Amino acid sequence: GMGGALLGVGLLFALYTLLRHGLRRVPLPCARPELRGRTAIVTGGSGGIGAATALELARCGARVVLATRSAARGEATASRIRRETGNQEVRFMQLDLASLRSVRAFASTFLRQEPHLHLLINNAGVNTGGTTEDGFSLPFQVNHLGHFLLTQLLLERLQSCGPSRVVIVASSAHCAGCLHLDTLGKPPPGPLSAFQDYCNSKLANMLHARELATRLQDTQVTCYAVHPGFVNTGLFRHLPLWLKLLFIPLAWLFFSDVAEGAQTTLHCATHEDLERFSGRYFTDCRLQEPWPPARDDRLARALWEASERMVGLGEPPESPSL
């Protein structure tokens, strides 16, 4: 049926991408940018690519805020990074992107406690199904809506500290995404609901970066979408067993380690002279054309307006006429 066909396409696509990207190792950058005096937020910074990104930013001298859900893991990672880098300016602040209330609380605490913000790394991601306390599908809210609200709440601070950057960790999985404005934020139907939802949320990430860049023209803030590569992180831990058995040997063969997975994020966060590429998509530290739906400006704008309504920003809704 439809599910099997979709799965076949998904696996073929995964193999194609693995062969295309996985066999090409990203060279580690030799020069470390000087980031002393700059403040960065990394969401999902307690593990995987987020922790690798935070570690490298701390090595460059940045003040780094790990914005993550688990206090135990967040504190442990912050102290490990302080120990490994000798940079004491690494701290944990609680953020649960599955709760818009938590996003607002994080933003107001951050703005009260931290005078500067130069880098916002929207890295956290989930690929499991489920529904949030706000009534949206889990991957759509964590991967897109929560980050959308977070970015809007921190935008003034980013602008006043410019030049500053927003890096949105998307994925080449955006190619399988499709967004229907009338069912936005609801889990898609079918046996591969969570997989489809993940792809949809990654398309939303791409469109967010594109529309954000349009709205930030003539400001000191630029933004970039990145595909981190297929990285051996915990993202795949919830796959059904038979898919794991298929994926794990491939993962050993092809997937990058997390340090390599962080390279494109770091490139877009720190590389000089990327301003003219604001809103664009990078993979393997290089500019890449995204799939056509991710270049649809009308969809990007419609998604932006819908996202504003969903998180309670923007125009107040019109009162219904009696």
Q: Tell whether pTM > 0.75.
A: yes
Q: Nearest CA to 294 among 229, 194, 225?
A: 225
Give me the phi and psi of 151, to 5 degrees please: -60, -45
Q: Is 2 a domain residue?
A: no
Per-residue confidence of the chain (322 residues) as pLDDT tens digits?
Answer: 766 666 766 776 766 666 655 555 555 555 678 999 999 999 999 988 899 999 999 999 999 999 999 999 999 999 999 999 999 999 999 999 999 999 999 999 999 999 999 999 999 998 888 999 999 999 999 999 999 999 999 999 999 999 999 999 998 788 888 899 999 999 988 888 888 999 999 999 999 999 999 999 999 999 999 988 655 445 555 566 666 666 666 655 555 455 577 889 999 999 999 999 999 999 988 999 999 999 999 999 999 999 999 999 976 556 666 5
Q: Is 232 a domain residue?
A: yes
Q: Is 17 a domain residue?
A: no
Separation between Cα atoms, residue 97 and residue 67, nearest integer Å: 10
Q: Nearest CA to 194 among 125, 127, 97, 126?
A: 127
> What is the domain range of residue 267?
33-311
Q: What pLDDT shows up at residue 32?
A: 78
Q: Is 23 a domain residue?
A: no
188-193 CB contacts, 8 Å cutoff, 24+ apart: 190/2, 190/3, 190/6, 191/3, 192/3, 192/6, 192/7, 192/10, 193/129
Q: What pLDDT shows up at residue 299?
A: 97
**Which is it for strands 281-283 and 286-288: parallel, antiparallel or unpaired?**
antiparallel
Whichever domain contains 65, its CATH number is 3.40.50.720
Q: Is 9 a domain residue?
A: no
Q: Is 164 exposed, middle or buried (0-12, 13-18, 19+ CB in 10 A)?
A: buried
- The H or E element that residue 170 is part of is none
Placement of tokens 């460059």 in the chain? 60
Q: What pLDDT shows up at residue 246?
A: 65
Q: Is 147 a domain residue?
A: yes
Q: What pLDDT shows up at residue 98?
A: 97
Over residues 49-87, the pLDDT tens digits come to 899 999 999 999 999 999 999 999 999 999 999 999 999
Separation between Cα atoms, residue 202 and residue 196, nearest integer Å: 10
Domain count, the chain: 1
Any idea what the Cα angle at residue 118 is, between residues 114 and 121, rounded to 5°?
100
Q: Is 19 a domain residue?
A: no
Any idea what the Cα angle at residue 120 is, between residues 209 and 118, rounded to 5°?
115
The two structure tokens encoding residue 101: 């209330």
CA 175 to chain centre: 16
Q: Where are the beta strands (DSSP E) in the chain?
A: 39-43, 63-68, 90-94, 119-122, 164-169, 221-227, 281-283, 286-288
113 close to 65: Cβ distance less than 8 angstroms: no
Q: Nearest CA to 176 among 152, 194, 158, 150?
A: 194
Separation between Cα atoms, residue 208 and residue 213, nearest integer Å: 8
Q: What pLDDT shows up at residue 101?
A: 98
Q: How many CB atoms lie within 10 A of CB 34?
A: 11
**What are the CA-CA distances from residue 199 to residues 22, 92, 202 (Å)?**
19, 29, 5
Separation between Cα atoms, residue 54 and residue 50, nearest integer Å: 6
Q: Is 7 a domain residue?
A: no
- The H or E element that residue 17 is part of is helix 2-17
Residues with catalytic annotation?
198
Q: How many CB atoms lie within 10 A of CB 212?
A: 24
